[in-house]
Every structure is written in structure tokens, then in C-alpha cells.
Amino acid sequence: MKSFEPEQFRRLFPLIVSNGASNLSVDKAPSLVYFDNAATTQKPACVIDCYRHYYQNFNANVHRASHNLSAKATTAFEQAREQVKHFINARSIKEIIWSKGTTESINLIASSLGQRVLSSGDELIITVSEHHANIVPWQLIAAKTGAVIKVLTLDKNGRVDLSDFDALLSHRTKIVCCAHLSNVIAKINPIDVLIAKAKAVGAITVIDGAQAVAHFPVDVQKLNCDFYLFSAHKMYGPTGVGVLYGKQLLLESMPPYQAGGEMIEKVSFNEATTFNALPFKFEAGTPNIAGVLAFSEALTFLSQYSTAQMRDYELQLTHYCYQALANISSVQFIVEQVADIPVISFTIKGHHNHDIATSLNSYGIAIRSGHHCAMPLMEYLQISGCLRVSMAAYNTIAEVDYFIRCLIKILEPESTDSDQISVKTNSAEKRHSNSEASTEIIAKLSQVKGWDARHREIMLLGKQLPRLDKTKRNDHTLISGCESLAWLMASKNSQGVYHFHADSDAKVIRGLLVIVLAALNDKTAVQIQSFDIDAYFSRLGLLQHLSPSRGNGVLAIVEKIKEITE
């Protein structure tokens, strides 16, 4: 086993090496500082090469064929299953089911197991901090069966509240769903205690391990859970591959989730169709063979290193970043105490989460903002969303320092440079000059070099947009399809000229609204419908620099205006 050396480990990831930078300067941003590992990790060269090796050397469908190429592919495919069995210490390969990911695994269990064990009046306990993937499938099956969902709350540190669990647990409890740790809070839940308590009343336990398996060892036999689920892409493996671990007796009692291909034993129009044995009963169709083999390569890659040393280094990163953020007075952590893995969630007083994330992106720093597929948790915490910094073993202390320097710079009071663009979108005496305003915006932004500087100009534009009264920011004026909340009101005069008032809770969206309104305000319906907005955005060099969700938000604003004027 190799000693874990962070710098050597980092050099094994092509995207990190080719897009990173050794000299981290606020004035000269690197191409990438990747702090979005809870969403997906980057892949080492050996995993990437494994894909090509499979397709170039033994691409064939697995199992039933009799030729050598298929035999070779089948052997490698089933060896990967054996490897996963050892990785989580399952009893048998019959307990290892391949899926597309954690989400599909949960849907499989909810659909197949839920139909078998749930009936009207039965109860499921689900933690308030669960990812949507471990909530919605259960809501759907509960609606079909008449079962009732009970919501388990958290203690002040963000872990499940055991006293609340005791109060919810009863002889009516059939299923308990809990993440090993939340993708937002990142505190290890006492799932061993939950599992033991659930078993005492005969309840089945479903554990979402998507955020856990990349950071510390998991032993499903020791936990004694009924199901444990995780995805390859969050642990340096490929996308599109997941693992569903389930106890053999439970899996054998469950009906198939999908039909066709490998899950069939015998099909007939004259007698009952029969299904294959485990694990194939739940693996309909041609599997993601290349992905499974690449995941096996990822497990082999990780097995070279000391798990304890990697864990120690990740905790070092976690504590260092947490303390650095704690030293910024406007940072507010969403729960008390430092996280158990390198995932830190926080808000910044007086700033919208999307504004901060977008500003950091202009410095080459990739973090995530929003509700993180955990809307019930955000509602429980009474926040609309948060920022999430998630690190991996290839990240460095220097990257954390650079992130903090950039964040502090972003939080500095904004410039009131007299040279900034001035656009008054609600002033009647200025309505005639909207074409001049759009021309001025194009001229100004085209002179700005670099997306970071252009982004700051857009943020400055946002300061000039008059705020809508709170009573006018409602569901009727809300623009659907925009990542941040945004609202639009329209009026039309006797000459058929439209004038729009708009607002958003994010500064960057307010700036983008100024840009859109400069082009489309104070025009007739014919003029608005015929305006070449794509050419306008192209001249601004705008959409190619925005994230897909932000770009879609801008287009949603335009579509709303065109819908009103149709």
C-alpha cells in the first residue's frame, strides 16, 4: 500500500493538472479550483483509460454469448461485482445490484419493496435532511399505498435527533430512510443506532451512502442495514454507475423493477414468465459495462492508498477551510460545529448565494449554490439556499487560501466608478433612449477584457435597477425557469408601446435584467418579437460565459417578455 502524498495524488487527475495553476493569484486567476466534489469528483487517468481499453480490446455484451470476447467481458464485469462485495463487506455477490446511480437504486427499492410491504396506515420515517432522491420516490409509493411519511428532525449540530426518532418509531413503522451523512450538512449520522432501533420494531432500513463511501470505510454487515446505496461518480469513478446493496432474503422477496434482457429466465405466451436469479433479476437490459469496469478501476486505484492517511488529510482541509471561513464576520454556517467530511455549507449575510458563486466562478473557483436537492432541509433551516464548498483529496491548502482571498475581495465594498454604465429603465423621460442604452452597454462590455471584469460590470448594472415593491414580487409576476427568484411586470400605453419593470433577489440577475430591458423596453409588440436577441447577446459575449442554469434564466426572462407581447 502506498503512502498518501497529496501532491502526487493530485497529479494523477488530468483535468485538475491541465486546468489548475501552481501560482494562485487574485490578479491572475487560474483556470480551475474545483470545490464541487460533493456533486461529482474528477477522474484519475487510469479510470479514463479503462473506458478506452474496454472498447478497443474486448467490447462485447456480457453473459449469455458463447464467444471468447463475451467471456472476457463477462469475467471482468463479474470480477467488478466481487470487488464491490469486498469493498463494503457484503456476504454474497447476489447482494450487489448494478444501477445507474443512487437515485435509481432508491427508486428500485421504493417501487419494488414498497409495493410489497406497505399498505394503508403503515408509516415510513424519513430524515428532513435527505436528498430529494430519498424523499420523492417514497412520496410516490406512499400516495399509491396509503402509507404515511413521518419526518425525522435534527439536533443543533445537524445530525438526526435520536429522541425524536424514538418518538416517531412504532409498530406501524415499516421503513426507515436515512443518509449516512447529508450532502449539505455532512455530519455522520448515528445510523448504527437507528438501524438497531428500527429492527426492534421490525422496520426495514434504507441507507443512502452516496456522500459517505468516498471518505471512510463502510461495512454493511457490521451496520446490519437492509439496504445501502451509493454512486461511482462521487468516488473518482464514472457517471452512470451505482450500487444497490440489499440483504439476499429481502431481494429475493421483491418483484422485478424493470423487465427485459438479463432479468428473464423463461418467457412464454402459454405459461407464466419466470425471472432470473439474483443479482440479475434487477438488471434488465444491457448494463453499463464500460462504466462498471471503470468503476472497478477506481476501486483498485483507491485501494493503493492508506485510507487513514487520506481521511486525515481531508479532515485537515476541512478544519482549515472551516476556520478560515469562520474568521469572515459575514459568514454564517447553517449548523453548529465543523463537518465530518470536507463539505462546508454556509450563507453570507447581505449577499445572495448565487451572486457569490457566480463571482467566485469569475476567479476560476467552482462551488455550488442553491438548495442542493434538499428543499425540505432549507425550509427546516429557514433559509432559501446556501453555498457549499466540497473538497477532495486532490485539493490543497493553497487552493483554500486562494478561495478565501477571492471571497474577501468579492465582499469588499463595491466600486462606484463614475465610468460605469448608467441605465435608467423606469424613467419616463429616458424611454426614448433605450436603443442608445443597449448600444452603450454593448460598447462598454465589449471593451472589458476577461469574464471576471465583465461580470463585475454586470453586478454594477444590477445596482441601478429600481427594486419592485415587495407586494408586487408575487407568484403572478414570477418568471419561471430562472434559477434565482425574478419578477416581471408590464404596462402598455395607447400607442401599443410596452414598458417593463423587473426585479430579482440576486444582483447578477438584476444586472442581466438591465441588459435585457435595455434592448426590449419601450417597443411595440412587433418590434419586440422581431428583435434579434441572439445577435444582441452574441455582441455582448454573454451567454457562453454563464452557467447553463444562469443562461437558461436569461432566456426565460426573454421568453416571458415575448409571451406577454404575443
Residue 373 falls in the annotated catalytic set: yes
Place of cell 426585479: 503
Phi and psi (nearest 5°) for 328? -95, 115
Phi and psi (nearest 5°) for 347? -120, 165
Between CA 26 and CA 156 the distance in angstroms is 36
DSSP H stretches of helix in 387-541: 397-411, 434-447, 451-463, 507-520, 525-530, 533-540
Contact assessment for residue 93 and residue 120, using Cβ atoms and an 8 Å cutoff = no
Q: Single out the residue of 450, 481, 425 nearest to residue 545, CA to CA.
A: 450
Residue 457, number of CB atoms within 10 A of its CB: 18
Which residue in the list 373, 386, 406, 482 is annotated as catalytic? 373
Between CA 481 and CA 485 the distance in angstroms is 9
Q: Single out the residue of 335, 333, 311 nearest to residue 6, CA to CA.
A: 311
- Long-range CB contact pairs, 70-74, < 8 A, 24+: 73/289
Q: Single out the residue of 343, 312, 315, 320 nearest to residue 401, CA to CA.
A: 320
Contact assessment for residue 313 and residue 4, using Cβ atoms and an 8 Å cutoff = yes
DSSP character string of 317-370: HHHHHHHHHHTSTTEEESSSS--SSSEEEEEETTS-HHHHHHHHHTTTEE-EEE
> What residues contact 478, with CB distance under 8 A and at least 6 apart?
485, 486, 487
Residue 491, number of CB atoms within 10 A of its CB: 9
Place of cell 465610468: 419
Bridge partners (DSSP) of residue 522 are none
Place of cell 473538497: 391
DSSP H stretches of helix in 146-247: 162-168, 191-200, 220-223
Q: Single out the residue of 106, 111, 110, 86 nearest to residue 96, CA to CA.
A: 86
Query: Which residues participate in catalysis according to the annotation?
Result: 373
